[in-house]
Amino acid sequence: MPVYAPDSVTFPSAAPHGFLIDMDGVIYRGSELIPGADRFIGDLLDLDLPFLFLTNNSQRNRRDVVTKLHRLGIEVSESHIFTCAMATARFLAAQKPGGTAYVIGEGGLLHALHENGYSIVDHDPDYVVVGEGRTVNYEMVEAAIRMVMDGAKLIATNLDPHCPTQHGLRPGCGAIVAMLETATGRQAFSVGKPSAVMMRAARKEIGLDASRTSMIGDTMATDILGAVQLGYRAILVLSGGTRREDLTAYAYRPDMVVDSIADLSAADLAGIATAGNAAATVSTRPRGS
């Protein structure tokens, strides 16, 4: 039976399935581990199933993210982390190798751009690149506006309107980008979830085709939308910002809806027969409808 795949890649026959996993709201809330998340990730490691953590947070580099996960009891490596900053930097390096960027953002974005051969400048850049920033001021915004009006291309690492913190919400990359778009009349190109640029790049990182890839996330407008658009299995967890009753507002549906990642079995999702589970199967019919 033919399956939909956005492009053709070679995948390892030893890996029946792979996973792209959001973090905030799926693995942890703020600085607290969501119960069962460490068990699920441990099972992925024990079963040698490929997976990546996907985040639309461009502030931290991979080492910082790994340190946070280690402190929560999840022992993964930097190779398991894929950020929107990484996706953005790789995209720009492919579009214009050795280019220049004026950046509104923090260390994770700056590091990713440098790693991909980009120079950070404060005048006449090829691109104005916007990520999350706790130190954004109007002087930076005014400079970005002038550069875009002078011909620099406007790039967003993501369009999330806000970022959760332990004290509530603060403006996210999308809010900053919206201000620049309104002032310049130019639309930003966004690379982060649900963009196919990031979602497809992450899937290629784990080396599987679309039919063997699941996205586990807590947000309909990013994680689930991206998965639906690219033909991945879309698994929504209700431990983050989405409630079951919210699903009626969307024209698309996840393949599975569970209360939290603790309700998922890595072996079942990958179709692996384990001891006491001789015929593991998974229903891909939408739940909660």
The pairing of strands 256-258 and 100-104 is: unpaired
Q: What angle do CA 162, 223, 202 make, to 5 degrees?
A: 110
Which of 24, 21, 92, 76 has the alpha carbon at shortest distance from 241?
A: 24
Cα 234 from Cα 257, distance rounded (Å): 9
Spatial contact of 180 and 188, defined as CB atoms under 8 Å apart: yes
- DSSP letter, residue 24: B
Distance between CA 199 and CA 184 in Å, rounded?
28
Q: Is 189 exposed, middle or buried, given 0-12, 13-18 or 19+ CB atoms closer than 10 A?
A: middle
Which of helix, strand or coil describes residue 81? strand
Residues 208, 231 contacting (CB under 8 angstroms): no
Would strands 233-237 and 189-190 be described as parallel, antiparallel, or unpaired? unpaired
Q: Write phi, then psi, for 251 (nearest 5 degrees).
A: -80, -15
Give the span between the Cα atoms of 25 and 239, in whole angstroms. Answer: 6
Q: Which of 24, 43, 160, 223 is catalytic?
A: 24
Name every residue whose Cβ is closer than 8 Å to that of residue 182 and which is 6 or more positions away in sequence. none
Question: Any catalytic annotation for residue 22?
Answer: yes
Among the listed residues 22, 43, 209, 255, the single catalytic one is 22
Residue numbers annotated as active site: 22, 24
